[in-house]
Amino acid sequence: MSSYDAVIVGAGHNGLTCAAYLARAGLGVVVVERSEMVGGACVTEELFDGYRMSTAAYSLSLLQPQIIADLGLKLDVRRRDPVAFAPYEGGGGLFLWGDQARRTASIAELSRKDAAAYGELYELFGEAAQRLRPLLSYPATRKQVKRALAASEMPELFGRTIEGSIASLCEEYFEHEFMQGYIASQGITGTTGGPRTEGTAYVFLHHALGEAAGASGAWGFVRGGMGTITEQLADAVRAAGGEIRLSCEVDHIRLDVERRASGVVLSTGEEIVATIVCSGADPKRTVALAPAEAWSPEFVEDVALLPSNGPVVKVNCALSGLPGFSGVGHRGEIGPEHLGMIVVAPSIDYLEAACKAAAEGSPADPMFVEAWIQTATEPELAPAGKHTLSIFAQYAPYQLAEGTWEERRDEIGDIVIATLERYAPGLSEIIEHRLVLGPPDLEARFGLTGGNIFHGEILPDWLFERRPAGGWHRHRTPLPGLYLCGSGAHPGGGVTGAPGRNAARAVLEDRVAGGLSSAGG
């Protein structure tokens, strides 16, 4: 039996962030991780011989600058430029450049009105993001968010960027269905809702909150893959005196005679004693780690209601060469179409049809896809002359109406590849290896209930004071001594580090206050 001040369950980016802050505050900290490596879903792995890839999380923006500074992270982030390449089915495509003049000229080929409207829409979300960012670092209620946004010169800001649908904004601002589809796709990432679902405007806003790529709302690729982030976070934990134990699966949370969390018991039977337990697992897995009588019934009921089945399929491929896109560039040569995110989302109706298929238990065909080729700028991630291709696709249901994922995984992977091959002829011929991860696979590989990449739905009905349960948004739980430091806590999912930092602050506040009693609201 070993003893520490705090034990952190899970070495994902949030668990490591929480651990680093607690260790820097002088606490004796141990992180226990069931996997053989740190990182959770924020990892770089050699999936195929010679090919290193970001297996799950793939692009960076949301990691809080304060965390990067506090923990001394040295990340080389290449801002995406073009931000995106959206191919046309007949050949060619739309380039969304970082440079305003080039971007305006590109969009104007579709519509001059839309070229002007692009900046106007991003100004709307930029204002909302600026006002919302301070509330990511502290437990915020819906009322507080509404008050913060109402302080702007746009009184409609809350209704439009939090409560509304991304489709309604796209149809208001843009006239061309292609622009509507591309922008709408940025408001459905990771959610089971379609672009016409109320609250998807917030999903767009959530992804516009980041600054880690050097500019408000910008996204970039981390040199070495996303695992670079968690490897450096692990270094920060160790440098502060914290310990990380891998291949250590938690069986259950240890309770003392007063029914407080007092450490964990590993699957091996070993006990780790601690006055503080911080869980980086999602809320449903966290609840399952303690007996039912340890929780308030209302908390358990609320957590059970949190939608956790995800719609995402991740397909990672090893390529023998560089894919070419119809009507763009020269086959075999790296062009701008390979440097940013490749997005297939040609209209709102296309996205809605994909969402509807999954809601009925079928994989969408064709799918919404985002793809990227990190080897276009980091050739060292693959053997000479070869490339990586990763694809994030929606929508596919966790539970299929017909058959099982084990039976249909390859078929669904084929749908994803075929969707992209409509624009990149011959793609399937250069795929040497591929790994298809549907929602059940994401669940099994990364411990994500339902395969939900955000530890639960991030539509606004499931955020703020309702995350992870009504009134329990302050990272504490009804089980005294247990804190939630994963994406199931405020402010939600993505590689932000915010839940981990916030949970550490809650722990330290309670210690200063002279106790570790739980508190809701």
Please check whether residues 330 and 405 belong to one and the same domain: yes
Q: According to the model, what pLDDT value does residue 26 have? A: 98
Angle of CA points 418, 424, 426, to nearest 5°: 75
- Name 245's Cβ contacts closer than 8 Å, sequence gap at least 6: 30, 31, 32, 33
The predicted-structure confidence for 442-451, as pLDDT tens digits, reads as follows 999 999 999 9
The predicted-structure confidence for 431-441, as pLDDT tens digits, reads as follows 999 999 999 99
Per the domain annotation, does 101 fall within a domain?
Answer: no
Per the domain annotation, does 10 fall within a domain?
Answer: yes
Q: According to the model, what pLDDT value does residue 192 have? A: 96
What Rg do the C-alpha atoms of the chain give, in angstroms? 22
Cα–Cα dist 244/34, whole Å? 11
Per the domain annotation, does 347 fall within a domain?
Answer: yes
Task: Decide which of 148, 178, 206 is a domain's last residue.
Answer: 206
Residue 473 has pLDDT above 60, yes or no: yes
Split into its structural domains, the chain has a count of 3
Please check whether residues 389 and 411 belong to one and the same domain: yes
Q: According to the model, what pLDDT value does residue 519 have? A: 37
Q: According to the model, what pLDDT value does residue 54 have? A: 98
Residue 491 has pLDDT above 60, yes or no: yes
Per the domain annotation, does 192 fall within a domain?
Answer: yes
Please check whether residues 347 and 433 belong to one and the same domain: yes
Directed axis angle between helix 166-173 and helix 348-359, to 10°? 160
Q: How confident is the model at residue 152 (pLDDT cuts 50, 70, 90)?
A: confident
Please check whether residues 56 and 30 belong to one and the same domain: yes
Please check whether residues 230 and 186 belong to one and the same domain: no
**What range defines the domain where residue 194 resides?**
111-206
Please check whether residues 247 and 302 belong to one and the same domain: yes
* CA-based end-to-end distance of the chain: 35
Please check whether residues 331 and 423 belong to one and the same domain: yes
**What are the backbone dihedrals phi and psi of residue 68, each rounded to the nearest 5 degrees, phi first?**
-60, -45
Nearest to 115 by CA among 136, 95, 141, 139: 95
Q: According to the model, what pLDDT value does residue 154 have? A: 86
Please check whether residues 431 and 316 belong to one and the same domain: yes
Please check whether residues 318 and 430 belong to one and the same domain: yes
The predicted-structure confidence for 261-289, as pLDDT tens digits, reads as follows 999 999 999 999 999 999 999 999 999 99
**pTM summary value:** 0.96
Query: For residue 362, which amino acid is it?
Result: S
Per the domain annotation, does 414 fall within a domain?
Answer: yes
Residue 516 has pLDDT above 50, yes or no: no
Q: According to the model, what pLDDT value does residue 382 have? A: 98
Q: What is the CATH number of the domain that holds 508?
A: 3.50.50.60
Cα–Cα dist 449/150, whole Å? 36
Q: According to the model, what pLDDT value does residue 208 have? A: 96
Per the domain annotation, does 190 fall within a domain?
Answer: yes
Per the domain annotation, does 517 fall within a domain?
Answer: no
Q: What is the mean pLDDT of the chain?
A: 96
Decide: 229 and 73 in contact? Cβ < 8 Å.
yes
Please check whether residues 384 and 425 belong to one and the same domain: yes
Residue 515 has pLDDT above 60, yes or no: no
Q: According to the model, what pLDDT value does residue 35 have? A: 97
Q: According to the model, what pLDDT value does residue 118 have? A: 97
The dihedral formed by the CA atoms of 514, 516, 517 and 521, expressed in degrees to the nearest 10: 100
Please check whether residues 331 and 409 belong to one and the same domain: yes
Task: Decide which of 206, 237, 264 is a domain's last residue.
Answer: 206
- Name 485's Cβ contacts closer than 8 Å, sequence gap at least 6: 8, 14, 15, 17, 18, 278, 279, 280, 475, 499, 500, 502, 503, 504
Please check whether residues 319 and 425 belong to one and the same domain: yes
Q: What is the CATH number of the domain that holds 350?
A: 3.30.519
Q: According to the model, what pLDDT value does residue 136 have? A: 96
Per the domain annotation, does 256 fall within a domain?
Answer: yes
